[in-house]
Amino acid sequence: MSSVDIPCMKFVVKIKAEASVIFSDFSGYAIQGFFYNLLASENEKLAMALHNSGEPAPYSLTPVFEVGSGNPIFKYLSSNTQGAFSMTVLGDDLCKAITRGMLKKQFVELNGIRCKITDIEVLVIELANIWGGAVPVRKFSVDFLTPTKFTAPPRDISRLAGLNSGKVILAPHRNIYLPIPERLMVSILNFWKVYLQELFAISESQYREWLLAGGLVCSGYPGGIRTVLLRGGGASVGFCGKVYYAIPNDCLFSKNHAMITDALLRLGEIFNVGDERTAGLGVIRYERNEICS
């Protein structure tokens, strides 16, 4: 375990709207706007740097969830319904800026409607415990609580295009709306690579090869998964549902890779998975079902 200290804080904000709030299609996008405005009010330079960065963002957001049922709110938050959302931030500057900003807030404005803040819970997350508490998981489930999508890896299609000039041509961007094990884990691995390499070490190339070889498999989703259309059924789409995974006990089995998988999934619970994590997509609940002896 590393002695590196990387500040990480989670703000759980409970709200009650003064009037009903109608969202364009998903409350996560309204929370994304609130977060950016909050950060810009405290540290505009940092807000602009994060906005223009091509790296995975060092924060994640959830949509508004209905308190009680725990259901994510897509289109409508009534004035008599209490909602809650979370903001998880990484790094000293970001933690300080959001803390200062929230200390000044009594209301959250969502789509032009004021929502009174009824409670704020602030949690300090000890990221070192992720690897320190990792176990060699063999079977587990991931409940995709909000719409989730992944990005297909870039492929060189120069040969398909009939070009022999040696010039690399990458395939067009493609989204994946299925709980493919390799895409799930790589989305978290990419976040770890940018921000947390000093916290715990992973043999990245070996782990990626293990995933591609089929070291982790999807064992089913008996309750089904469903596709969710966002933004008017246009640009954004994702899947939700509970999916079961397993690490087969065969020639590919690796206790170390099983521990890495466990650690990364716990990281994914904190910072979401897949694309558009900063708009509340890819919120998951991870549950171990069987641990290797």
Q: Are 240 and 223 in contact (CB under 8 A)?
A: no
Name the burial class of residue 97, with classes exposed (0-12), middle (13-18) and buried (19+) by CB atoms within 10 angstroms of its CB.
buried
Q: Give the residue-averaged pLDDT of 47-55.
A: 90
pLDDT at 233: 54
- DSSP letters for 33-65: HHHHHHHHHH-HHHHHHHHH--SPPSEEE---E
Model-level pTM greater than 0.85? yes
Reported as a pLDDT band with limits 50, 70 and 90, residue 154 is confident
Of 17, 145, 147, nearest in space to 77 by CA: 17
**Radius of gyration over alpha carbons of the chain, in Å?**
20
Nearest 10 degrees: Cα torsion 224, 186, 11, 40: -120
Asked if pLDDT for residue 184 goes beyond 50, the answer is yes
Give tens-digit pLDDT for 159-174.
Answer: 776 666 667 777 777 8
Torsion angles phi and psi, residue 20, rounded to 5: -65, 140
**Two tokens, residue 188:** 């978290």
Q: Give the residue-averaged pLDDT of 126-133.
A: 90
- Among 96-110, 167-181, 198-212, 248-262, whose mean pLDDT is lowest? 167-181
Q: Which domains does the chain have, with CATH numbers?
A: 8-124 (3.30.70.1890), 129-291 (3.30.70.1900)
The half-sphere exposure of 178 on its side-chain side, counting CA atoms within 13 A, is: 8
Give tens-digit pLDDT for 55-80.
Answer: 899 999 999 999 999 999 999 999 98
Asked if pLDDT for residue 248 goes beyond 90, the answer is yes
Give tens-digit pLDDT for 36-45.
Answer: 999 999 999 9
pLDDT at 105: 94
pLDDT at 19: 94
- Among 128-132, 149-153, 159-163, 188-192, whose mean pLDDT is lowest? 159-163
pLDDT at 73: 95
pLDDT at 1: 44
The half-sphere exposure of 70 on its side-chain side, counting CA atoms within 13 A, is: 4
**Two tokens, residue 67:** 């308190």
CA distances 179 to 97, 110, 147, 220, Å, are 35, 31, 11, 10
3-state SS assignment for residue 13: strand
- DSSP letters for 187-236: HHHHHHHHHTTTTS---HHHHHHHHHTTSSEEEE-TT-EEEEEETTTSSE
